[in-house]
Each structure stands twice: as structure tokens, then as C-alpha cells.
Structure 1
Amino acid sequence: MHIPFPDSPRVLRPASLARRLLAMIYDTLLVVALWMVLGAVAVGLNGGEAVTGPQWKTLLFVATYLFFAYFWTRSGQTLGMLAWNLRVQSTAGGHISWTQSLIRFIVAGPSLALAGLGYWWMLLGDEKLTWGDRASGTRIVQLEKKKKA
């Protein structure tokens, strides 16, 4: 189901690679903070002992996905994207689905692991789409700065 953004102007330009990377750095710091909170809770529940194993890695993976998917599906912006005036949206210009967010999240791993090739790819095309954008049917756009009243 296509749900358009109410404030969408006619055409938004694609986000630059630099802004995307800066937003990623910001969001990485937030995810590390989330992991630290989860780690503190897990250690407390584990009697002060370190928490390891596949269940712990799965919890971190799911928590990280939920962090991104919640923001992407709700407002189209993580806190890092908000700081850099970026928004992820469907190619039709509306909110993305949980499925699209999962595809974006899964494709981000190989995109980064291959020396960032999935992100550098955007420099080759006019549409400025990364592997995650192409795979999920989404795009990241640069929003206009809000005018102060």
C-alpha cells in the first residue's frame, strides 16, 4: 500500500554519497549506544557474567534491524538522516514497507563489506541508487531545509 508523505514537494533530488555517509556515521554511534544498553541489561540478567553465543548475536542483529526499520517505515528518517535532511522513500514517493526495510538492511551488509562497493555504485548512474535502493525499490532523497518561522 502506497502512503505518500504529506510534505513531499514536486521533485526531490537524490542524496549525495557524502551526506549518506555522514548520516551512517551518526546512526552507527546510536546503534553502538543501543548495543551498550542491551549489553548492560543482558549482563545484569546473566548474573554479572559476559553474554556470548549465537543467541546474543541474533539479538543484536534483530535489535539493529528494528532500530532502522522503525524509523524508516514510520517517518522515513533515522536520527542521522534527520540531522542531514535525508529521507528514504519508495520510488513512488511514499513510506516504505517493513519488507522493503528488511531488504535494505540485508543488502547493506554486503554493500559495506565489499569495500563500500554497494554505495560507491551510486556514482555510476544518473539515478544515484545504491544496491540497497535498487534491491528494495527505494531511494534516499535530499530534503529542503525547513524555513524558520
Structure 2
Amino acid sequence: MTLKRLSSHAGLAPASLPRRLGAMLYDGILLAALWFGVAVVHLAFFRLLLGVEPRTVGADSLQVWSLRLLLLIATTSFFLYAWSRGGMTLGMQAWRLRVQTPDGYAITLRQGLLRCATAWLSLAALGAGYWWVLIDTKRRSWPDIVSKTTTVHILAS
């Protein structure tokens, strides 16, 4: 598979923590809308096709676990699709950020999956994986380090 060279820009710099958090906030709003749509379709499937009423569902039921799995798949797909198209989600575009390989190529599917898995761990550790940007000399987060990618701020177009 041929890697896609991302468009060159006059200036790139390592992404700062405030920019990353801003992009995460924007993408979080988009994900909330996506999750709402997935949940509505999921609920309709169980209610209309299987006859399961939401009031009869326990926390350990198939309906709850299948919804969790669908939300995880939808979230991962959202990021993988955006990163494969040009290295940016909509939130990243607004904050002029891009994920790429250190030499400026689009990330691979494997790198994207590693980024997603490490992002969940970073968030579960109370955001430590993202606070790491303040410590690392190259301003890398845990997802950047594990996936061997970099998140850059596009300074000029």
C-alpha cells in the first residue's frame, strides 16, 4: 500500500496542549451527536424487531453490552476515517491540527488503531497521556508515542 503524502505547509510545529484540548472538545460534541444517533437506532432495533422494552433491561444485559460495543466501533471509525482522509477530524481542522507520521505521511490503519486504544488508556488515567505533552521535549502525547505518529499545528497555509 502506498502512503499518502500530506500536503506541505509553510510551517508546522508540535501541537500544544490547549490546542489539543480545544480539538477534543469540538470532536466531543460531534461524537455526542453520533452516539445519540447510534443509540436511537440501537434502541429502535431492540424495541421494534426484538420486542425488548428499555425498562426491562439490566446493566448486564445484551442490549447494554451491544450498545457499548457499537459506540466503541462508531467512535473508532469516526477517528480512523478522518485521520485516513487527511489527518484531521473536524475539531482538528478548526484548531489547525493534523496527525501524521514524523516524515509527513498519512498514518496507517495500524497506527490509527494504536492511537485510539492508547487514547482510551490516556483518558482512563485521568488524562495523563495528554498531560504528558507538557513533559515531553517533542510535545508528544501517549497516543503519539505508542503509534509513532506526531500531532502538528499548521502555522500557515
- Which consecutive unaligned segments of at least 5 residues does structure 2 have? 58-62
Structure 2 contact 98–151 (Cα < 8 Å) conserved: yes
- What is the aligned partner in structure 2 of residue 22 from structure 1? 22
Structure 2 contact 107–149 (Cα < 8 Å) conserved: yes
Aligned partners of 2:156 and 2:23: how far apart in 1? 16
1:45 to partner: Cα distance: 2.0
- What is the aligned partner in structure 2 of residue 41 from structure 1? 41
Structure 2 contact 10–155 (Cα < 8 Å) conserved: no
1:103 matches 2:104: no
The residue type paired with residue 53 of structure 1 is V
Deviations 1:56-111 (A, max 9, x none): 21111011100000001111000000111100001111100111010000001111
Q: Percent identity?
A: 41
| Larger Cα-atom Rg | 2
SS state of the match for residue 93, structure 1?
coil
Matched residue count: 145
TM-score (normalizing by structure 1): 0.90
TM-score (normalizing by structure 2): 0.85
- In the TM superposition, structure 1's runs of 4+ consecutive aligned residues that sit over 6 Å from their partners are none
Superposed, 1:1-149 pairs within 5 Å as 1-5=2-6, 7-9=7-9, 12-47=12-47, 49-50=53-54, 52-146=63-157
Question: CA RMSD, aligned part only?
Answer: 1.6
- Which consecutive unaligned segments of at least 5 residues does structure 1 have? none
